[in-house]
Structure 1
Amino acid sequence: MRFAWIDLREVPRPQLQAVVDAAVHARMAGVVSADAELLGTLPPTVTRVLVAEGTATTVPGRKPGDRSDKGDKVDKESKEAKDGKEPKAPGIDLLLRKFTTQEELDALAADNRPAGPGTPVAGYIGVRDDRTLRLSCSGAMALPYTVIHFADPTKIPLEIVLAAAESAEGKLVTVVDGLEEAAIVFDVLERGSDGILFTPRSADDVFALARLLEATTPQLELSTLTVESIRHVGLGDRVCVDTCSHFEEDEGILVGSYSSGFVLCCSETHPLPYMPTRPFRVNAGALHSYTLGPDNRTNYLSEVGSGSALLAVGADGRTRRVVVGRAKLESRPLLEIRTHAEDGRLVSLTVQDDWHVRVLGPGGKVLNVTELQKGDELLGYLATDKRHVGLPIGEFCKEV
């Protein structure tokens, strides 16, 4: 599970208390400071990380004068930490100490052994060349936490560390210089960094980070829909959605004529007789149709385009976020499929009238839309919310 540590050392002093309160309220995983007294005031719901003398994690571009608790201010507890002793100040959960050589790394690893000083020790390293990159890989394998500041903007060094530490029990924490980089770091090699070290400028930054950490996609409870009619409705405009991801064989996107119900439209992952598979594509439906995206928000297919985010949905209800590369709007003969749920609710879908357009049935069964018959069962999703500009709203709304 990904997490974030809030670094207080570069927070402007006027914002410091608000940032501390926000970090506690938003349940950030940890707070990092060189001030043991400050850390001692924090509740045990956060990991209190004391920075030992000489450990600097300042991101390039920050003004040294912005520090809230100066890097050269090291209290007695921090000096004892440097000497490998457990700090006497209460409320310290973890020491963060810099290492630049294998010998220093070995000393940090020794401190975490049962015979060590008692307080767990994390390591910090700046990666700027091949030697420090290899040393960071060793740290990620040996320490409970390894904080890495990558000097270069490329994420290749992070990929190398993630691959090297795949089997490690310790956690990798990457220093980031903003929320945008945090989102990228969490996605590198799909697994991403376990955690990030982030310096907010205000409490608003902390809450924005909390929203980023919570940005997961839900497990959906899919319903069985029974086909009651299929009819040819003539020429219209339909949308093919081409994503930047491969779909699994039992995945697609949810599409429906009404915001109250959707049918699981299959991707072109399965072989076709006259064309190659396109496992990134869903021949989704007519341009008026709703499709379900992240955060329980719908969009018309006519609104979907490059950079849009949708939900890929599996036959078991699992979901994941996918990014749209492009959408293709073309005029084609259309087919209307009307179904009903167990509670009698009408769920309608209008798609291209062609054999290669497919929907999914229970168990991930692939069904060609032109071969559907009354009584066939499809997979769908029933929404309880009405919609206004794609957002759920509690108002009367009837769609026919």
Structure 2
Amino acid sequence: MTFQNGASREKKTFKEKLFSMVQEADVQEKTALREAQSLDKKTLAIMMLLDGRPQAFVDFFNLTHGRLGNASTSGRGEPPLPQESLLLLKNHLVKVDTATRAGKMDEVCSSYKTLSKYFNELGRLPYSDFFLKQAVTISQKTGWVAGELEALQALGAVYEQMQDVLAAVTCHEKRLALAMENMIEADSESALLSLTAVYLGQAEGEEKTSQTAAALTSYSKCLSAAERAGEDAVRAKAHFRMGMIHFQEKRWQEAIYHLRQFVEDGAASMGDKVAEGVAHTALAQSLRENHDVEGSVALLEDYLETAQRGGDQHGPAMACCSLGTVYFEKKEFQKAVAYFERFYEIARSLNDRPMLDTARFNLGVARGSLRMPAYMQLVNGDLPVLMQWKNSRAGLI
């Protein structure tokens, strides 16, 4: 019995020791955490100053107080940087300071790019912008073309994320000029692709806000970049949008040029059947307005031959409507009725109520006009009987 009690006390003592060790480890972990958390931005800044890093101190102070070069993030309601971000920032700024003193500018740029990527992933784009600008400046000062090209590419992408189109365009244009000056083909092609996308986005935004003159300029730049980059689909879209803007503003010659470019060369690469139908209809009307009725008819009839084979039927519907209108204006009512009947059948198959109402009205008017000569001949041929009937109805005879 005594032996059992002794063994029990030994077990209890071991458990108590183990529990005590766990508690001590927990306390040490919490203490270490508190010490790490106590390294706030003020403490970290002072540490850099005491360590003889004045430039790192200045950069750290400005960055943690929202002073990013000429811009400021103060007052924007952004949360303070987390502890790990402060430590990373401090460490890399010290690396930058050390590398600068040693003349190792590639290491300086590397640290700036690392910081830019980190803050980009954190969603702090102004910080990413700041560090990439620093990398560009350092690369320019040292004549490091490859580093400048890489930094400009990343900076342009950041501006695109920030939806700062003008800044993105400027950045990609600088990259293109630098790459061409140094005959670096890969970067030239990449810069052209970036410019094509940015110009297109800029043009579409301007068109949506009715800035048509600015949109035409941007589409023209997009077209030039797309042609140089071999981007056929973007080139086609630029022609289409420019053609439609000119069409809406009744500049028929310009509309004809761009829409014809789209119809003859670009529609297939763009792969948009609806746009193809709209373009054919607008081009046909532009040709008519430019006194080329025969060209308008030939264009639409050729389009119908290919479009009726399949795909979206809105284009063929509009083409039939346009052809019916042309023949109606030419007083060729038999052909007008034939095309308006096709227009009506397509509209009915599409279950498009507004289109169906238009088709029904057009067909009725065309049929009435077609039958009008026969009706008038009948009336004129039996006019005395008609007059006698009318007089009897009025009680005059």
The two structures share one fold, judged by TM-score above 0.5: no
If each structure's strand is expressed as a fraction of its own residues, which one has the higher value?
1
If each structure's helix is expressed as a fraction of its own residues, which one has the higher value?
2
Length-normalised TM-score, structure 1:
0.27
Structure number, greater radius of gyration: 2
Kindly indicate whether structure 1 or structure 2 has the higher relative contact order, using CA contacts under 8 Å at least 6 residues apart: 1
Length-normalised TM-score, structure 2:
0.27
